[in-house]
Amino acid sequence: MNLIFDLDGTLVFQGKPVSPSISDALHDLRLDGHTIGFASARPHRDMLPVLDERFHDALLIGANGAMTCEGGVPVRLNCLPPETYDSLRDLAARYRAAYLVDLVWDYHVSGDTSHPFFSLIDPGCLGRHVEHHEVENPVKFLVAHCDDPAGFRREVQSLSVAVHQHSDMQLFDMTCHGVDKMSALADYGVGAGQFVCFGNDFNDMPMFRHAAHSVQIGEHPGLAELASERLPSGPGFDTRLIETLRRLAT
């Protein structure tokens, strides 16, 4: 069975790593022959610090589907074309946006970095900040805040990009058109009806639409219409999730 997990808000809470009990349960499932994968808005660089080392070689779909890694190395990248990236930078300048550009390992930040999001970048110190002229193969362009988020999103619709809204309504990011977590799974060879997924917000909807079974963590209203079942987060979550994993894996 292919079991695919979102990270933040699903297995990762307040930026803390996946708990030891859940990591052990996932490892046991892997030993039983199940495929364990993770699909996150985080790039590969920022996924590793919240995952047990036993999963660093697992299927990791990062940057909302723009990068796929396995065995610890990138196996597929969907980079923003240079003209699209330049257009996004122009929009960011006009709207005085503070933004993050994720590359394969490194990153570029521009603008006012007072937003709490910027303190979460590269917690494992696995990459480095590069200047604008050093940016190569950007995979994701994330806006943390700007003067007019609605106006920015309205104008970005004219570009060939996919827009991904985060649970924090002030955060949104852009990848290549047609790129999301489900498209990355399909490119990897896991198609509709061939996986069980776990998620909590907007960015998980494409997976939920095509999963054989989907488990919603928390109470996001958009996912409720798509989920096969729901698990509340909060006290006792680890036990509830592990029981659900064992039930679904039998």
For 113-146, what is the HEC assignment?
Answer: CCCHHHHHCCCCCCCCECCHHHCCCCCEEEEEEC
- What is the model's pLDDT at position 169? 56
What is the number of alpha carbons within 13 Å of residue 192 lying toward its C-beta?
Answer: 3
d(CA 185, CA 167): 22
What stretches of the chain show up as alpha helix (H) in DSSP? 20-31, 44-47, 82-94, 149-156, 181-188, 205-210, 221-224, 237-249
Q: Which fold has domain 82-176?
A: 3.30.1240
- What is the model's pLDDT at position 165? 86
d(CA 65, CA 39): 7
Q: How many CB atoms lie within 10 A of CB 119?
A: 10
d(CA 170, CA 149): 7
Q: Which fold has domain 2-77+180-249?
A: Rossmann fold (3.40.50)
Is the Cα dihedral 167, 173, 175, 178 positive or negative? positive
Residues in the chain: 250
**Tens place of pLDDT for every residue, the chain, 250 residues?**
999 999 999 999 999 999 999 999 999 999 999 999 999 999 999 999 999 999 999 999 999 999 999 999 999 999 999 999 999 999 999 999 999 999 999 999 999 999 999 999 999 999 999 999 999 999 999 999 999 999 999 999 999 999 998 876 579 999 999 999 999 999 999 999 999 999 999 999 999 999 999 999 999 988 999 999 999 999 999 999 999 999 999 8
Please give the model's pTM, rounded to 2 decimal places: 0.95
- What is the model's pLDDT at position 31? 97
d(CA 47, CA 64): 12
Domain boundaries, given as residue ranges, for the chain: 2-77+180-249, 82-176
Q: CB–CB of 64/203 below 8 Å?
A: yes
- What is the model's pLDDT at position 168? 61
Q: How far does CA 42 lie from the centroid of its chain?
A: 5
Contacts of 219 (CB under 8 A, 6+ apart): 230, 232
- What is the model's pLDDT at position 166? 83
Beta bridge partners of 216: 199, 230
